[in-house]
Amino acid sequence: MVKVAFIGAGSVEFTRNVVTDLCTYPELQGQLELSLHDIDAERLGYAEALAGRVSDLAGAGARISSDIDRRAALEGADFVINEIQVGGYAATRLDFDIPAKYGLRQTIGDTIGVGGIFRGLRTIPVLQGIGNDLAEVAPDSTLLNYSNPMAMLPWAVAASTPFQRVVGLCHSVRDTHRQLAELVGVPQDEIEYVTAGFNHQAFVLRFTRDGQDLYPRLREVVEADPELQRRVRVEIFRRFGYFPTESSEHSAEYVPWLMHDDAAIDRFRIPVGEYLRRSEENLDELDETKHILEGGGELTLEPTSEMASEYIRAQVTGQPTDLYVNVVNNGKIANLPDECAIEVPATVDADGLHPQSVGALPAQLVALNRTFLNVVELTVKAVLEGDRDHVYHAAMLDPNAAASLSLDDIHAMCDELLEAHGDRIPQALRLH
């Protein structure tokens, strides 16, 4: 049997996607043990019912269990999929509403920026607990992390727990490669890509077909389309020479030039508060899934090729699969620190994960990455060292906050957020 544990399984739509993939792989049918955990008993119940329905429809014969106790759910796991959002929608609202009082605009708020900092402060301790649990009850497992802030979480687990096999997975590189192929009108399977950097701020370094650089063609497409030029990621490409992997909504809040400027907001169609709208849509999707599970609709199987599913299948079957992963650097990007968590191409096979080294990033890209790294590193250190000053340091050095607020307002905003998040913040960082 192959035991796959889900942490945060109450994120039922995501759980559904991965379980559907796993249950519809012919190679895994009859071999799956799915162990579900969530701190919300009601959501956990729906997740268990959903997994059971999917397994039955697929004829997978999966053995399914759930447990409100995390260690029990993790024990003996071969793979662990983490999809938690600590504090849920209520905490996300605080991350947006309090900074907005000070005049700070955010779009997604889950990676860097003030929203990313405070999501990191809430989430890193939970990942440390998972890492410590795995070291004891499933030491040979692989932790596949989907939760943000991605650049912070694998770094923190590897730096502060005995468990080292932590791999971050994100769709952004895959989606970017597909979009670039569409823009230049070339089938994606005919293009060679090499992409690297940080999660949500990686860059397509190689974009070729039969050895021919496709970037000149992309520049022609962009220059001929005024509407395409009204996207943040396209502007970053035009200014820095390489296409970034994250959406314009994300990218807008990682740089200092846009979010404080009404004209830029309009010109680049930046959707302030976008993640709140997406979160509300996710809550609606949860209600729809509950309705189906309670007998009000038909459940259909739609495989989604989730990266965690592909990773698990590759290692279990030994069929090599190429993925982009977030792992501790250790020299894979030569001009970024060894200890940080970077995003690079990798192959997964029966022997596990084989990340590739990509050499040094171009100077202008690594310079942009370093402004991103400042916030990530200081947030990780705030938790690992129990140093509240690093919370303020991270916020002061965040590109969007620094361009939008005074130092006094940044400090006051952080204090208000520390107070509002209460016991979700590590004890050493609390105000009282």
For 126-182, write each residue's pLDDT tens digit.
Answer: 999 999 999 999 999 999 999 999 999 999 999 999 999 999 999 999 999 999 999
Cα angle 84, 87, 93; round to 5: 120
- Greater pLDDT, 295 or 323: 323
3 state DSSP class of 177: helix
pLDDT tops 80 at residue 295: no
Beta strand pairing call for 321-328 and 352-355: unpaired
pLDDT, position 119: 98
- pLDDT range class, residue 282, cuts 50, 70, 90: confident
Architecture label for domain 88-112+169-432: Alpha-Beta Complex (3.90)
202: Cβ–Cβ under 8 A, 6 or more apart, which residues?
Answer: 172, 173, 195, 196, 244, 245, 246, 324, 343
Distance, CA of 42 to CA of 279 (rounded, Å): 19
- The predicted-structure confidence for 71-116, as pLDDT tens digits, reads as follows 999 999 999 999 999 999 999 999 999 999 999 999 999 999 999 9
- The predicted-structure confidence for 347-392, as pLDDT tens digits, reads as follows 999 999 999 999 999 999 999 999 999 999 999 999 999 999 999 9
238: Cβ–Cβ under 8 A, 6 or more apart, which residues?
Answer: 222, 229
3 state DSSP class of 346: strand
- The predicted-structure confidence for 238-267, as pLDDT tens digits, reads as follows 999 999 999 999 999 999 999 999 999 999
For the annotated catalytic residues, the residue numbers are 171
Residue spans of beta strands (DSSP E) within 183-304:
192-198, 201-209, 212-213, 243-244
- The predicted-structure confidence for 172-220, as pLDDT tens digits, reads as follows 999 999 999 999 999 999 999 999 999 999 999 999 999 999 999 999 9
At the topology level of CATH, where does 2-87+113-168 sit? Rossmann fold (3.40.50)
pLDDT, position 256: 98
Distance, CA of 380 to CA of 390 (rounded, Å): 9
pLDDT tops 90 at residue 123: yes
- pLDDT range class, residue 296, cuts 50, 70, 90: low
CA distances to 18, 42, 149, 182 from 203, in Å: 27, 41, 18, 17
Distance, CA of 369 to CA of 201 (rounded, Å): 7
Q: What percent of the chain has pLDDT over 90?
A: 93
CA-CA-CA-CA torsion for 123, 177, 317, 161, nearest 10 degrees?
-20
Question: What mean pLDDT comes out for the span 23-32?
Answer: 96
pLDDT tops 80 at residue 297: no
3 state DSSP class of 321: strand
Run of H or E residues at 384:
helix 363-385
pLDDT, position 48: 95
Q: Are 5 and 74 in contact (CB under 8 A)?
A: yes
User: What are the residue boundaries of the structural domains of the chain, listed by start?
Assistant: 2-87+113-168, 88-112+169-432
Q: What is the residue-averaged pLDDT of the chain?
A: 96
